């Protein structure tokens, strides 16, 4: 039977997020080690998202919005606004710094934010590659519509479609919008698969699932039926036998590498963000040592 992971709530830069991964019951789904649903949150004019510069190593971050805009800056010099449906893919590798804020135009009026942020672990052989950045507009992502079901491949490969995003391990990340009483066949059944209901309701093997739940599917859970008009995310990939350590924003197969990253951030040895280098998120104190993901 499919297993449900319920979210924990966190505050990040003035934004409430529901965190599904990592979870006590399941640390990774394929290469996905982190899954946050941001919002939906409404801000009055003058308030909004304020995530100060912070570092990453050993992973790729993926931002995908349903509503709202986020201004991305990073230490490679990239500065652009993420719009709904776009894919913002930042590969940290050996180390990168980025911030997530808002433009004047967004902050100056009442506005909302609703979307997903995920981290995808880099395989050990790629964990210290040079950092890079890709931004793919929504119209450049592969999409099909059949029997009223809209399917978009955000990253990886599924249903015979491949996203243009550069990935480093076998994976898929798919957005689906379907009317009531449609049956969706899961992609890549030999891989680990999870489903997240954004809105609506689905049944799988006779059980019902609602918004806010991350559902880990079993191999026999091959079909998903919508019992309301529904939007859902399908994600997964090959199961990782050798899993990395994680501490704060750092992912590595080496505890020593994580300790070095912590020291580098304390001592200001990470690169800075052009035009956004006057403040930063300090390294958390009193946290446990890096733990392996199980």
Residue 263 per-residue DSSP state: H
146 within some domain: yes
3-class SS at 165? coil
Number of domains in the chain: 1
- Tell me the per-residue pLDDT of 16-59, one tens digit each, with 9 for 90 and over: 899 999 887 888 999 999 999 998 999 999 999 999 999 999 99
Using CA atoms, how far apart are residues 258 and 31, in angstroms rounded to an integer?
Answer: 19
pLDDT at 14 over 80: no
Residue 15 has a pLDDT of: 82
257 within some domain: no
- Tell me the per-residue pLDDT of 202-223, one tens digit each, with 9 for 90 and over: 999 999 999 999 999 998 899 9
Question: 50 a known binding residue?
Answer: no
Using CA atoms, how far apart are residues 48 and 37, in angstroms rounded to an integer?
Answer: 16
Q: Which residues contact 201 (CB under 8 A, 6 or more apart)?
A: 208, 209, 210, 211, 226, 227, 228, 230
- Tell me the per-residue pLDDT of 93-117, one tens digit each, with 9 for 90 and over: 999 999 999 999 999 999 999 999 9
3-class SS at 104? helix
Exposed, middle or buried by CB within 10 Å (0-12, 13-18, 19+), for 142? middle
pLDDT at 132 over 80: yes
Question: Looking at 217-277, which runs of residues are DSSP E strands?
Answer: 223-226, 230-237, 245-247, 250-252
Question: 218 a known binding residue?
Answer: no
pTM, 2 dp:
0.94
289 within some domain: no
- The boundaries of the domain holding residue 158 are 3-237
292 within some domain: no
Question: 100 a known binding residue?
Answer: yes
pLDDT at 287 over 90: no
82 within some domain: yes
- Tell me the per-residue pLDDT of 138-150, one tens digit each, with 9 for 90 and over: 999 999 999 999 9
Residue 280 has a pLDDT of: 96
Average pLDDT along the chain: 94
256 within some domain: no
255 within some domain: no
CATH number, domain at 145? 2.60.120.10
**Dihedral, CA of residue 125, residue 131, residue 136 and residue 141, to nearest 10:** 0
Length of the chain: 294
pLDDT at 294 over 90: no
Both structure tokens of 65: 């919005």
Q: DSSP labels for 138-158? A: GGGS-EEEETTEEEEEEEEEE
Confidence of residue 293 (pLDDT cuts 50, 70, 90): very low
């Amino acid at each position: 039977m499919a297993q449900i992971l319920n979210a924990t709530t966190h505050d990040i830069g003035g934004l409430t997020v529901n965190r599904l991964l990592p979870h006590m019951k399941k640390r990774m789904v394929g290469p996905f080690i982190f899954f946050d649903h941001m919002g939906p949150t409404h801000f009055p004019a003058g308030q909004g998202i304020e995530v100060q510069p912070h570092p990453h190593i050993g992973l790729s971050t993926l931002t995908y919005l349903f509503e709202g805009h986020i201004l991305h800056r990073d230490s490679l010099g990239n500065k652009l606004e993420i719009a709904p449906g776009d894919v913002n893919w930042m590969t940290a590798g050996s180390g990168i710094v980025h911030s997530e804020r808002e433009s004047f135009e967004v902050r100056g009026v009442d506005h909302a934010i609703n979307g997903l942020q995920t981290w995808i672990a880099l395989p050990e052989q790629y964990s210290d590659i040079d950092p890079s950045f890709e931004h793919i507009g929504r119209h450049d992502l592969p999409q099909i519509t059949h029997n009223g079901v809209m399917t978009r491949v955000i990253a990886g490969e599924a249903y015979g479609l491949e996203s243009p995003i550069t990935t480093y391990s076998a994976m898929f990340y798919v957005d689906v919008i379907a009317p009531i009483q449609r049956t969706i066949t899961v992609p890549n059944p030999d891989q680990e698969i999870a489903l997240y209901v954004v809105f609506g309701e689905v049944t799988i093997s006779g059980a019902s699932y609602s918004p806010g739940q991350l559902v880990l599917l079993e191999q026999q859970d091959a079909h998903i039926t919508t019992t309301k008009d529904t939007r859902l995310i399908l994600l997964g990939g090959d199961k990782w036998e050798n899993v990395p350590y994680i501490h704060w924003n750092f992912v590595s197969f080496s505890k020593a590498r994580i300790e070095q990253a912590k020291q580098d951030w304390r001592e200001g040895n990470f690169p800075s963000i052009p035009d956004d280098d006057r403040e930063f998120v300090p390294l958390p104190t009193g946290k446990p040592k890096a733990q392996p993901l199980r």
